DNA sequence: TGAATCAGGACTGATTTGATCCTGTATTGA
DNA sequence: TCAATACAGGATCAAATCAGTCCTGATTCA
């Protein structure tokens, strides 16, 4: 249903924690206690991050995990992939052999663009974005006249992607994209 | 694990089908047969799309469903919401009361940006995008010098969002975003 | 040595998803 | 009129995925 797993959540929380104390190591228990996460599950997550080369483990007393890359060099995409495996938007992308309508499937290729856009969003978002100061409510978008105008406004990466105006032409019944239109609830 | 459900897939396939024969009605069975989808499940999906006011049902002999809005006025986001309910990226966004680390949760607000960016991607993508001609492989991106330069290149909505360069500053170990970097596999 | 900590496989229970079935209602056309 | 066609929607079942636990075995350090 297009959501991250709890494990991925936990992984991001843990990484953000590790990023907040650069260089230091924190044990699974430390982190789990700090955020009330199930210890054993978090352990699994950290193991996966370790295998993925994002954190390094230190055994023994006073051991734990430490971030071995710059927070800005670890994307959410990488984290999610390390923990949950490949991100697939639609079944079309995997079941190539088995899917019997693969030949006349009309949505696979168009959806690929959506897929790539989502991957890109995740790829741009890094642990350092996570570690930044509490987020201020996004200011309401100025209704842009043309694509370039709004792209010019300096903004952090993801926000920029978010606000790039559609300019998609047609869109008959529907006016320009309004924020309220996007997240009525979730 | 960040993927669409089959029901959402089916819904998009059905809508794309309805959009391809404007004005005409197609029965559940027609559509299910055309794409080898499970009839009863597709029926459920179409019911939900009907309740959402995206298609209209016609009972009786030669009945079926018809699209009652312009394809460009039906976003993938709306379809997904109608079928799978609200899109939630992380558990933080829902379990406000119950989650005991809600107060010191460090990832909720930052992730909201990602959430909104994904909603926006889905919101921009419409049934008419689905109905378009087979997609040509995206051309490799020119490595952009500054954000504006590439945004200037005329491109369809989603693709534009996709290729807006990061320009996120830091990103130490990692060079500019490369396509191959984003979808190594899925 | 022994306490602390990671590594990782096996396993269980809960939740979600996918799919089917069944009863009922509306519409059409012979 | 009435039978065939098609939608509406609740109930139910099976399969898959996810969340969480447990246990056994290394590794490190004091
Ligand atoms: S390839 Fe199977 S549904 Fe698209
Ligand atoms: S609010 Fe509960 S984990 Fe973020």
pLDDT at B101: 57
- Distances, alpha carbon B146 to alpha carbons B90, B106, B149, B163, in Å: 32, 31, 6, 12
Among protein residues, the one with the nearest Cα to ligand 2's atom 4 is B92
- How far does chain B reach from its first CA to its final CA, in angstroms? 12
Q: Identify the closest residue of chain A to B155 by CA–CA distance.
A: A168
- B152 confidence band (pLDDT: 50, 70, 90): very low
Here the tokens at position B147 are 């954000």
- Smallest CA-to-CA distance from A27 within A94, B56, A37 is with A37
Q: What is the CATH number of domain A6-184?
A: 1.10.10.10
What mean pLDDT do residues A78-85 have?
Answer: 95
Query: Mutation test of ligand 2: which of B95, B97, B103, B109 has the most ligand atoms closer than 8 Å to its C-beta?
Result: B95
Candidates B12, B167, B173; nearest CB to A69: B173
- Residue A137 neighbours by CB under 8 Å, 6+ apart: none
pLDDT at B21: 84
Q: How far is the alpha carbon of A40 from chain B, nearest alpha carbon, in Å?
A: 18
- Burial (Cβ within 10 Å: 0-12, 13-18, ≥19) of residue B146: exposed
Question: B64 - beta bridge partners?
Answer: B58
pLDDT at B104: 65
pLDDT in tens, A119-130: 999 999 999 998
In this structure, chain A runs to a length of 186
Residue B186 predicted with pLDDT over 80: no
Residue B134 predicted with pLDDT over 60: no
């Amino acid at each position: 249903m297009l959501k991250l797993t709890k494990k991925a959540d936990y992984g991001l929380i843990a990484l953000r924690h590790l990023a907040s104390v650069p260089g230091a190591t924190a044990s699974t228990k430390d982190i789990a206690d700090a955020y009330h996460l199930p210890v054993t599950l978090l352990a699994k997550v950290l193991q996966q991050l370790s295998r993925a080369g994002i954190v390094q483990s230190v055994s023994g007393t006073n051991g734990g995990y430490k971030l071995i890359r710059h927070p800005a060099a670890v994307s959410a995409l990488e984290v999610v992939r390390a923990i949950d495996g490949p991100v697939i938007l639609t079944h079309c992308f995997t079941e190539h052999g088995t899917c019997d309508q693969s030949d006349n499937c009309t949505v696979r290729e168009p959806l690929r663009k959506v897929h790539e856009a989502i991957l890109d969003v995740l790829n741009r978002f890094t642990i350092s974005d996570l570690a930044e100061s509490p987020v201020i409510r996004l200011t309401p978008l100025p209704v842009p006249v043309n694509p370039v105008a709004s792209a010019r406004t300096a903004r952090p990466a993801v926000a920029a992607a978010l606000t790039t105006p559609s300019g998609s032409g047609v869109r008959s019944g529907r006016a320009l994209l309004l924020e309220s239109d996007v997240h009525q609830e979730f």
